[in-house]
Structure 1
Amino acid sequence: MTDPSPPISTAAADTMWLTRRIEKLKQCFALCGIINSTLDLPEVLDRIMRTSRQALGAETSSLLLVDETPGPGRGELVFQVAQGPMSDSLRQGFRLKRGEGLAGWVCENGRPLLIEDAYADERFNPEVDRRTGYRTKTILTFPLAVRGRVIGVSQLINKEDGSPFDAADLEMFTLICDQAAVAIDNARLHTEMLKKQRMEFDMELAANVQQGFLPRRVPDVVGLDVAGASRSCDETGGDYYDFIVRDGQDGSPGQMVVVVGDVTGHGIPAALLMASVRAFLRSRFLAPGDVGQVLDDVNRLLAEDLGMTGRFMTLFALEVDVATRSIRWVRAGHDPALVHDPALGVFCELGGKGIPLGIDGKWMYPCESMDSLTPGWVIVLGTDGIWEARNPGGVMYGKERLRKIVRARADCRAVDIVDAVMGDVETFRRGLPRRDDETVVVIKVGERGVEHEKNHAAGGSVCGHISVGMRR
């Protein structure tokens, strides 16, 4: 009896093969579109595995990514997604060393593997099968690579119809994995961009908050002209200056305190430490005690907070008695204040001994003092970002150049002297970015009365008696 079905011609067979191939390619492109339709990394990984299983009729699928974080596990493969009967065993976070098993081999060599019989391949590790009771038969493993760099491995195990994976499956899996690698890379870049945007927003917010910590206005104290400015080398900085007025017994200004500080490091940690010191100082200055006692208490609190972190803050605190014009100051590891007497053309420094705040909570800060201020004096407090600024030739700005600016502007207002110093440092750097925060505060001493003028004319400069390096 003859077969009633006519034989299929070669042309018809080719047409059927091309039709199936086109349909497969259409399906593949549609699946790639699904994979690339999101930038959420966990969703991208889940879609890669789900679409791969559906497209190739696989029982189990898994995706591993290379651990690129610094540390002992760098370069290892980490399971991110596992679907199918073995998904519970291949839990998220399970690791393979580079070169271990079929996935490790593919990652190490950057080439795919089409294994028809897993147990016939010596690279196959049957440990998971022994642990789970699952029987691995055929495996398709493909490297996920971007710009020539393997970032992970995708793997399919066993076909639902029981047949082994073949070359056509590998071809389709190749197309999916190539698109998947790009999708993973894009999702990672998107995640990093979002992190950067959040960080920039947080830094901008922190910078705005920190700027709010700096004095909004200069205290109105008769006979004293005060100004200050601070510029950070980053969005947030560790430099600090403040003006604090302590009330007298009658409610009028009793003392004006000027502080300038410099926290180790830069960025958010330095800004947080600066904010803590500001809060401690302002709170403590509300209570009785001279400037030395204030710093004793602040230092004790700060040392408790900082512990063994290695962080600290240098500070110079100067207190002026408004009525007597006597001054007291404490130097906590900070550079001395610079004093210029334009009448005699000399400079001197307000020195003293003291370690930075936060190092030793038991340290007691000695308080230096001077009986009177002379009208015309210019007192300059700053941070080392000023005199340690460098030009393109590597030369430091230095304190001598600072003295020249102060000497040349001694007759100007305090704010003009501050502007002149900051402008000259900017000019000196000649376009180089700041390497450190830059802060300067100027106190210009005004007239006090006829009697003091007579004493000044007769006795010369008190500055000469406290100088630790008088210069003309």
Structure 2
Amino acid sequence: MKSLKRIFRQQRDQLGRRLRPARAWLTPVRALLGAEALALCAVLGFLLTGERADFFDRVGGRADVWLALAAVLMLAVLHLFVNRRIVPALNRRFAIERYDERRILFDLGRAGRTVTSVEQLYGIVAGTIGEALGAASVTIFVRDDQTGRYECRFFTVQLNGGGAGDSRGAAGTGGESGVQSLAFERDAVVVKRLYNLTIPLSLEPRDLETWRRSLELVPPGTRERRRDEIKTLEAVGARLLLQIMLKDRLIGIMSLGARRDGRPYTLEDRRMLMSVAGQMAFIIENAKLVERMVEEGRLRRELALASEVQQQLFPAAPPESAVLDLAGFCQPAREIGGDYYDFLLLDNEQIGVAVADVAGKGISAALLMSTVQASLRSQAMALNPGLGVEGSLADLVATMNRLLWRSTGTASYVTFFYAQFDERTRRLTYVNAGHNPPLLVRASGMGAEQHAARENGKGFARANGVKDNGGFSEGGVALTSAFEETMWPN
């Protein structure tokens, strides 16, 4: 029984394919003309056959001829009435206006040059094609360069009896059947077939039904993806899929639903769509370029704002001191970075000096730098003896380290140097947490003896390691990690 049903279905589909050209040729106006011709033949056959023919023969030898002429005249009057009253109404109701291919290409080219909104650009393309061909729906899928998926970027849905654009929207804004979530995977069946075809791909409901029955033969790993692909095709009502190629890359897919008049897409329609596809490829590439430009502009504005905020974290001016000359400057490698220095004016004539370097560059390093700045200032004030709280600089750095460890990942780290100078005793106390060791420059080692002194240790010496209560009697210079690299021979 199942075999008989399958054979019957195949014969029915084959007959439908054979009759499809006749359906395209047989318009309502042509059907009406055929009905008029059949009516004329029926009237003449009725009047000129049987007993009626014998009657007219008895009336006269040419009575049948005059009767035929009268019948033709009556039908001619009826035909004239039909042409004036009924045919125009049928044309308005059923006939599809012929589109101008050159006009369509011109409008799309002008839109590609003037429209700045990507969604508006896709909307013009979908609306123009849908109105020209009378498609019930038009959906545009664009390839995502990062994932390779073909995501729904725009759709139009023609409601029954409505004109073009009854329901339309950009992907992600809601709409019919959750279109904002529709997409084709990079290994989808339709994607592979469109890539290997040079003409649009036709789809019928029976094709989707065949695919659904064949899912049992698909490996379990890809079965769910194939099922989602079928759901996507059904959701957009795909009857014709147009590949949008740029050189040898499939960058987009346009899906057209069934025509509102029920006619199939003709060879002329497909040729027009293939011409449009070439222009669509450049429109999509321009749209992606516009998106990148907008995104880059937004990032530049955000980076400029972040750079301004970061500059406000640096001290506007060093604190004034009768015994110290302080200065600091930071120039990030990018708009923002993780280099940091700070001056703190504490109670009891204490001045704090901090230099730090956050691993990495960019926004993530700048965010971590702001965390270092906030924790340093809070902990330095908490260990201020003037507030009755005693503690060493090693305790300060240990507390900061615990705070940063809890709020950052394992790949983030900061090198940090902090010193406090007592103006009364002129004693510098510092702690170094993984930062480049500071340099102690003595007055006798300045000038020409500096390079030799570095080699023999006479001019100035390095202060290495994490130390607390270390003091220098003359003065200190703190520097960031990039300073030493500039002096390397290579």
Which TM bucket (shorter chain)?
Answer: 0.5 to 0.7
Asked whether the equivalents of residues 65 and 151 of structure 1 are also in contact (C-alpha less than 8 Å), the reply is yes
Give, in angstroms, the shift of residue 239 of structure 1.
Answer: 0.9
Q: How many equivalent pairs are there?
A: 352
Output one character per residue of 1:267-294: Cα deviation in whole Å (capped at 9) or x when no partner: 1111111112112212222232432232
Distance in 2 (CA, whole Å) between partners of 1:76 and 1:384 is 44
Segment drifting more, 229-238 vs 90-99: 90-99
Question: Residue in 2 aligned with 1:384?
Answer: 481
Give, in angstroms, the shift of residue 134 of structure 1.
Answer: 7.5
Output one character per residue of 1:341-384: Cα deviation in whole Å (capped at 9) or x when no partner: 2336521122232xxxxxxxxxxxx52322x613xx5x221122
1:350 maps onto 2:463 in alignment: yes
Distance in 2 (CA, whole Å) between partners of 1:186 and 1:133 is 27
1:202-217 pair list within 5 angstroms? 202-217=302-317
Where structure 1 has 5 or more consecutive residues not aligned to the other structure, the ranges are 6-19, 249-253, 354-365, 390-396, 402-427, 429-472
Question: Residue in 2 aligned with 1:413?
Answer: none
Distance 1:162 1:138, change over 3 A: farther
Asked whether the equivalents of residues 116 and 138 of structure 1 are also in contact (C-alpha less than 8 Å), the reply is yes
Question: Identity of counterpart residues, as a percentage?
Answer: 27
Structure with the larger strand share: 1
1:238 maps onto 2:338 in alignment: yes
Q: Does the residue aligned with 2:416 lie in a helix, a strand or coil?
A: strand
1:169 to 227, 247, 269: 269
Asked whether the equivalents of residues 114 and 165 of structure 1 are also in contact (C-alpha less than 8 Å), the reply is no
Q: Aligned letter for 1:387? A: E
Asked whether the equivalents of residues 340 and 356 of structure 2 are also in contact (C-alpha less than 8 Å), the reply is yes
Segment drifting more, 212-221 vs 23-32: 23-32
Output one character per residue of 1:254-277: Cα deviation in whole Å (capped at 9) or x when no partner: 111111111010011111111121
Distance in 2 (CA, whole Å) between partners of 1:221 and 1:130 is 77
Output one character per residue of 1:158-182: Cα deviation in whole Å (capped at 9) or x when no partner: 2222222112101222233333332
1:113 maps onto 2:200 in alignment: yes
Output one character per residue of 1:194-245: Cα deviation in whole Å (capped at 9) or x when no partner: 1101111111221222222222222221222222222211111111111112
Distance in 2 (CA, whole Å) between partners of 1:283 and 1:276 is 11
Distance in 1 (CA, whole Å) between partners of 2:473 and 2:229 is 88
Asked whether the equivalents of residues 203 and 236 of structure 1 are also in contact (C-alpha less than 8 Å), the reply is yes
Q: Does the residue aligned with 1:224 lie in a helix, a strand or coil?
A: coil
Asked whether the equivalents of residues 139 and 236 of structure 2 are also in contact (C-alpha less than 8 Å), the reply is no
Where structure 2 has 5 or more consecutive residues not aligned to the other structure, the ranges are 1-68, 80-96, 160-174, 214-226, 385-390, 446-457
Asked whether the equivalents of residues 241 and 261 of structure 1 are also in contact (C-alpha less than 8 Å), the reply is yes
- The higher radius of gyration belongs to 2
Give RMSD over aligned pairs.
3.7
* TM-score after normalising by structure 2: 0.63
Q: Does the residue aligned with 1:64 lie in a helix, a strand or coil?
A: strand
Asked whether the equivalents of residues 82 and 90 of structure 1 are also in contact (C-alpha less than 8 Å), the reply is no
Structure with the larger helix share: 2
Distance in 2 (CA, whole Å) between partners of 1:97 and 1:23 is 35
1:457-468 pair list within 5 angstroms? none
Question: Residue in 2 aligned with 1:321?
Answer: 422
Q: Aligned letter for 1:200? A: R
Q: Does the residue aligned with 2:198 lie in a helix, a strand or coil?
A: coil
Distance in 2 (CA, whole Å) between partners of 1:213 and 1:65 is 43
Q: Does the residue aligned with 1:231 lie in a helix, a strand or coil?
A: coil
Distance 1:320 1:78, change over 3 A: same
* TM-score after normalising by structure 1: 0.65
Distance 1:320 1:147, change over 3 A: same
Asked whether the equivalents of residues 25 and 172 of structure 1 are also in contact (C-alpha less than 8 Å), the reply is no
Asked whether the equivalents of residues 237 and 256 of structure 2 are also in contact (C-alpha less than 8 Å), the reply is no
Distance in 2 (CA, whole Å) between partners of 1:116 and 1:151 is 20
Structure with the bigger RCO (C-alpha within 8 Å, sep 6+) is 1
